[in-house]
Amino acid sequence: AQTVTQSQPEMSVQEAETVTLSCTYDTSESDYYLFWYKQPPSRQMILVIRQEAYKQQNATENRFSVNFQKAAKSFSLKISDSQLGDAAMYFCAYRSAVYGGSQGNLIFGKGTKLSVKP
């Protein structure tokens, strides 16, 4: 079974600085998807960024980028120019590339709480 591990329960960053959140996963599959979700105090889960395992190029969305190391099974999130609105819980998630059935479910890490200091 696949597992997702976020080893940093809490992180803190100064406004305008850069922070990296770590995520490792375990799988025997070769094709899958990885995600970072943000959960602000409102608790609405918001997709931040997505990475397809077959793509070597790291995904980027504005100030958010990932460092995807497939061999190491590592998927870290870098937030550049941190803003107060970035303060939230961040969840790393894994999904098999198999369509349908239970393989289609997301497997979440336990989350990292990010604080942004003004």
What is the Cα–Cα distance from 57 to 31, expressed in whole angstroms? Answer: 15
Q: Which is nearer to other proteins, 68 or 91 (CB)?
A: 91
Shortest Å, Cβ 33 to other proteins: 5
What is the Cα–Cα distance from 33 to 14, expressed in whole angstroms? Answer: 30
Shortest Å, Cβ 62 to other proteins: 18
**Strand pairing report for 64-69 and 46-52:** unpaired
Counting contacts by CB under 8 A, is residue 70 touching other proteins? Answer: no
Counting contacts by CB under 8 A, is residue 104 touching other proteins? Answer: yes
What is the Cα–Cα distance from 49 to 31, expressed in whole angstroms? Answer: 17
Counting contacts by CB under 8 A, is residue 90 touching other proteins? Answer: no
Shortest Å, Cβ 36 to other proteins: 12
For 20, 33, 78, 83, the CA distances from 70, given in Å and listed in that order, are 17, 11, 17, 29
Residues that bind other proteins (CB under 8 A): 33, 35, 42-47, 50, 91, 95, 97, 99-102, 104-106, 108-111
